[in-house]
Amino acid sequence: MKLRDQVAIVTAAAGAGIGQAIVRRFAAEGAHVVISDAHAKRPLTLAEELSREHGREFLGLQVDATDQAQVERMVQMTVEKYGRVDILVNNAGINKLAPAWEMSAETWDFVIRTNLYSTFYCTRAVLPHMVQQRSGKIVSLASVAGWIGSSDGEAHYCAAKAAVMGYTRAVAAEVGKYGIRVNAIAPGLIYNEFLRRIYPDDMFKSVEKRTPLGRVGKPEDIANLALFLVSDEASFITGEVMCCSGGLYMHA
């Protein structure tokens, strides 16, 4: 029970991928998890399921993480219910493939706002509470694409994820004196069914062949790393971007 009675907010938390895996991992370790998702029903359904499973109440909220007012209300509701916020996981993200020379301003804005602005809004909203309590842990989801780029029409996505890395380091430097740790995770390809709507089938096979561990990642792989980063076992780690790609990219 590494997170017993700690209060965690996870964004984009009720889908089939990384967010839900993190929620379930944190819940199993004793955390009170606020399940935030833009979908109307999924966070409520997941909260009800986990409440029955663990015998304590989980809070599910429909929140657009790119909306400042909704984010601030989510944090306010969390503090009103639990009295504090110990952990934030910025997981909200999206991609929409388009060649750089054909990309519309609307597509650029959509991907940048979802991946980067959501991280800024949520981080900004929790920090005053963490500063006041002199403790807190923030983990943001970046991507190896922020380091290595992409030839698949992901210039906006690569730009956003690189910005998340820089933002992580800067915030960590600012708030370390308050006992707050800020890190990021840069996954390689982490499989979930939604990705089939974005990428062609042969891409998954190609990545498997190029990955030293011989497979694409699972959401649970990222959830385990997120748990480590918010646990006391990582108490001297901040400002880091941790690569988790099965060796696809060996970051130095």
Residues carrying an active site annotation: 157
**Residue 62: Cβ within 10 Å count:** 17
- Helix (H) / strand (E) element for 241: namely strand 241-244
Instruction: Please give the single-letter amino acid code of residue 125.
Output: A
CA 39, 126, 20, 192 torsion: positive or negative? positive
Distance of CA 206 to the CA centre of its chain: 25
CB contact at 8 A, 115 and 34 = no
**Residue 236: Cβ within 10 Å count:** 6
List beta partners, residue 87.
8, 137
